[in-house]
Structure 1
Amino acid sequence: MPVIPEPSEFPSASQKGNKEVQNKVGEHRDKASAADHLSKGPQIPENMPPKASREEIEARMKELNKPSN
């Protein structure tokens, strides 16, 4: 059987409301400005590996896809 607590143990509505008001008063959040939403463009790392030719990529693909019997 479930245990039902006594009604005196429930928090009252005024206690709940006071807690929410205190949280909102204590919080201070700055709103985002237009500058926060500006795009900085693509982020390209400086240490990228050298670009491989299509032939090198296809040769590597064939090498990796060989059946291993």
Structure 2
Amino acid sequence: MALYEYRCTDCGNEFEQRRPMSEADSPAECPVCGGEAVRLPSVFASKDGYTLRVPRAGAFRSGQSGQG
């Protein structure tokens, strides 16, 4: 099961619906008006290249955070 976003072609309502991947491209029924809804393109977000900050050795014992 996956979560998909849909927009009703009749009333414009946008909603999310969990469906099997095999039914992803099939029209969904709008929960507001019962009209046919089409799937919206998904936006995928990712963060790359962030820096992992590791405290200095002993910082946990001394109560210091290791940050300047």
Q: TM-score, normalised by structure 1?
A: 0.28
Structure number with greater Rg is 1
Q: TM-score, normalised by structure 2?
A: 0.28
Greater share of residues in helix: 1
